[in-house]
Amino acid sequence: MSESQTEWWAPARPDAGEAPQARSTRRDSRDRRKAARARKARRRRTTWVVLLVLVLVGGAGYLVWSMLGDMFDGDGKIATATDYPGPGHGSVEIVVNPGDSGQAIGTTLKDAGVVASVSAFVDAYDSTPGATGIQPGTYSMLLEIPAADAVTALLNPATRVEEKLAVPEGRRATQIYALIGDALGVSAESVEAAAEDTAAIGLPEQAGGEIEGWLYPATYAVQPDDDATSVLKTMVSKTVQVLTDLGVPEDQWQTTLIKASLVEREGKLDDDRPKIARTIENRLDQDWRLDIDAAVAYGAGVNGTELTQSMLEDTSNPYNLRRHKGLPPTPIASPGKASISAVMNPADGDWMYWCTVNLESGETWFSETEAEHGKCVAAMNEWLAENPQ
């Protein structure tokens, strides 16, 4: 071999016998196996992460379902609404406003802590006969009670928070102002000031701006949010209602109340009122003075027992029916239904006088002549002597 051929061969190496292409193929295979192992590891990690997320989501879902699941039935519809088991505790005042629906009342009760949910109350409201008859007003309610108990309580008048205002028949407006003031916790003067706004209290034009006689005597329920104007308006409205129900023509409202107030102050027994009404009509028809001392006392601003001779002779008093013929300018008190009915339906008779002979029992005699009336006056004086005041 020549020298030049010996120098052409490269020095010997461990892989000198392996072709370059084989070595490249082997490296590619190793790289693929390594990449495959990496992908497999990533898939395992991804699988575990997904499983962990599913476990967490599933646990949270189970917790929510366990808390709310009892609100749904098998068809996925809302089932029995959340309700308190009772029996309740404490108390709270709630207000039912005019026109409130079951939903509105339920919302008020839920916000006040009376019922657990509006839906439970609405269910109880809809299933309770007469629930639509729940009246507006303020109610004292237990806290955390079953919805059905809440409906029952609202239908019970004893649950309502109200002040009773009792106005007896025959009271003057000034006396009624004091009663209203006591019920509202305000002064009689403030009530009288409210009465001066005749438009606000609904006083009819027939009254001529005079409220006397228009405050109907009855027992009223005064709510915590009532004021003098609202109470006066209710009483005037009641008078209009009674006059209307009894068929009194509107143009006769004031005259009827004037006559009825005289009957109210003079009559002690309901059976006597139609007789007194007839006697008043007989005297008016005969152009006699009515000679009713209760009217004289009203004009003088005193009680009947405080009348003096000078008061009885005072012609400046327009209510002095001993000196002036006809009816007084206004009613002298608030008459009740019996007296108004008596004026509308006076008894048949020719009486010209009446006299109460027993102030305790109210026994009253009716006479056609002055001589008969004299006997009645004697009997009355005898009783007074035996029963000094």
Output the DSSP codes for 320-349. Answer: -TTTS-S--SS-SS---HHHHHHHHSPPP-
Determine the Cα–Cα distance for residues 268 and 366; give it in Å rounded to an integer: 13
Strands 137-143 and 89-96: antiparallel
% pLDDT > 90, the chain: 68
Name the DSSP class of 198: T
Strand ranges inside the chain, DSSP E? 89-96, 137-143, 163-166, 219-222, 353-356, 364-367
Best CA proximity match to 183, nearest among 226, 130, 123: 226
Determine the Cα–Cα distance for residues 262 and 293; give it in Å rounded to an integer: 10
Residue 136 and residue 161 in contact, taking contact as beta carbons nearer than 8 Å:
no
**Coil, helix or strand at residue 225:** coil
Q: Around Cβ 61, how many Cβ atoms within 10 Å?
A: 10
Angle, helices 337-344 vs 273-285, to 10°: value is 40
Angle, helices 253-266 vs 337-344, to 10°: value is 110
**CA atoms within a 13 Å half-sphere pointing along the CA-CB vector of 89:** 2
Q: Write out the chain's pLDDT in tens, 389 residues.
A: 444 343 433 444 444 444 555 455 555 556 566 655 656 656 666 555 555 555 555 555 544 444 444 444 333 434 446 899 888 999 999 889 888 999 999 999 999 999 999 999 999 999 999 898 898 888 999 999 999 999 999 999 889 887 889 999 999 999 999 999 999 999 999 999 999 999 999 999 999 999 999 999 999 988 878 899 999 999 999 999 999 999 999 999 999 999 999 999 999 999 999 999 999 999 999 999 999 999 999 999 998 889 999 999 999 999 999 999 999 999 999 999 999 999 999 999 999 999 999 989 999 999 999 999 999 999 999 999 998 86
Residue 291 and residue 276 in contact, taking contact as beta carbons nearer than 8 Å:
no
| 0.85 exceeded by pTM | no
List, by residue range, all CATH 3.30.1490.480 domains of the chain: 93-159
Residue 169 and residue 215 in contact, taking contact as beta carbons nearer than 8 Å:
no
- Dump pLDDT digits (tens) for 71-120: 443 334 344 468 998 889 999 998 898 889 999 999 999 999 999 999 99
Bridge partners, 355 (sequence order): 365
Name the DSSP class of 6: H
**Coil, helix or strand at residue 307:** coil
Residue 331 and residue 170 in contact, taking contact as beta carbons nearer than 8 Å:
no
Domain 93-159 has CATH 3.30.930.10: no
Residue 246 and residue 201 in contact, taking contact as beta carbons nearer than 8 Å:
no
- Dump pLDDT digits (tens) for 33-81: 665 565 665 666 655 555 555 555 555 554 444 444 444 433 343 444 6
Best CA proximity match to 330, nearest among 291, 295, 305, 285: 295
Residue 253 and residue 243 in contact, taking contact as beta carbons nearer than 8 Å:
yes
Determine the Cα–Cα distance for residues 61 and 4; give it in Å rounded to an integer: 86
Best CA proximity match to 231, nearest among 267, 195, 196, 199: 195
Determine the Cα–Cα distance for residues 277 and 254; give it in Å rounded to an integer: 16
